[in-house]
Amino acid sequence: MGFISSLLCCSSSQTVSQKEKPKKKLSPSPQQSRIHATLSNSTRQMNLAPSKSGPATVNKTKTAVSKKSGINVAAAAASSSGHNENDDEDSDDDAMEVDEEMKKDDKQVVSVYNGETESSTGTAEEPAATAHKENEEESNEVTTVVHEADHSSSAEDSDAMAQDHSDLEVVPSYDYDPDEEVIDLTALQPDQAHAPGCSTLLGPKSPEFKGKKCLILDLDETLVHSSFKYLRTADFVIPVEIDDQVHNVYVIKRPGVDEFLKLVGRIYEVVVFTASVSRYGDPLLDVLDRHESIHHRLFRDSCYNYEGNYIKNLSQIGRPLSDLIILDNSPASYIFHPQHAVPISSWFSDIHDNELLDIMPLLEDLAQEKVPDVGKVLDVTI
């Protein structure tokens, strides 16, 4: 029970005792009246002032009494409860002792700050200063904790970054090995066909192609589809002699091939480069190239043999690479120069195919003189 409750109980006990035993009633002294008024004001301030330190602080406010106070609360409580057990003379003696102690501490005041009640021997400004100092200490402690957390977080981030870097694979730098075989793509292989008197597949450029780029076209599944089986939709049939026996080859032209060849034959130096043999390719091209749009023909014997594959080596054509474009349905055919390729899907019989017609605008743009290097335009890795 708190100090204020003790005084209230004391007052009520005195009233009961006086009713039971009417004696001489003591009137409260001015000191007692001032103390009661001060305590009442303090109680109102405690009820109205918001607590900054939570429920624990409020409970502490209601029960804590400063050690600096000269008032013995326990003695006061004991003296108040003694009225119920002792006679009136003992009550008068206890009241006189309390009055004497109050006189000695006449200059004491009760102040409320930060949700706490204290008795102070100084003025009411001292508790406020003490509270301000405590708030500063708490703020400093919080700031220190925050800084320590920041440093800890930074250290953890550094450790995580170091761990991530340690998990990365270290790519060894490439060191040139003088014993390693280096392939010269411009050199002709033994038995590889080439232009007469030249170390390239094509001879010197004719004056009629001056200022024109060179377009290399695949044949099978790019411009046409051929089969030894009968095809009802075949555009033409060519005889091919194989092992002293003639076989009919049924050929279907890809949609738009005639218009395509007519266009590119006008703006390019056109080369048909196929991995097929000449005894099949020559008669086929004689029928296909009605407008004489194809200027050169290269067959299997002109391919570069690389690991058992027939590669169309653009470095051996005999034209600057910056002016070379290859149109082929097989990426393996231009494995050495993918940055010069215009890919196209394999065609077999789809009559709704329009890829040749769709590629024509691109080839028209690449043929212009303002494109100095087609590789920088077609290279998908840039």
| Catalytic residue numbers, as ranges | 218, 220
| 268 closest CA partner among 367, 336, 176, 179 | 367
Report phi then psi at 258, rounded to 5.
-65, -45
Report phi then psi at 112, rounded to 5.
-120, 130
**What residues form DSSP beta bridges with 296?**
271
Contact call for residues 233 and 253 (beta carbons, < 8 A): no
Report phi then psi at 42, rounded to 5.
-65, -40
Range 113-150 burial, b when 16+ CB lie within 10 A, else e = bbbbbbbbeeeeeebeeeeeeeeeeeeeeeeeeeeeee
Q: How far apart are CA 222 and CA 93, in angstroms?
A: 126
| 46 closest CA partner among 30, 29, 59, 31 | 59
Q: How far apart are CA 13 and CA 21, in angstroms?
A: 12
Give the three-class secondary structure for 124.
coil
Contact call for residues 208 and 323 (beta carbons, < 8 A): no
| Two tokens, residue 236 | 């033409």
What is the total residue count of the chain?
Answer: 382
Contact call for residues 293 and 268 (beta carbons, < 8 A): no
Task: Kindly provide the residue ranges of all beta strands, DSSP E only, lying in the chain, ordered along the sequence.
Answer: 109-113, 116-120, 214-217, 224-227, 236-242, 245-253, 269-273, 296-298, 304-306, 309-311, 324-328, 341-343
Residue that is written with structure tokens 């014997």 in the block: 301
Instruction: Work out the widest C-alpha separation in the chain, in whole angstroms.
Output: 155
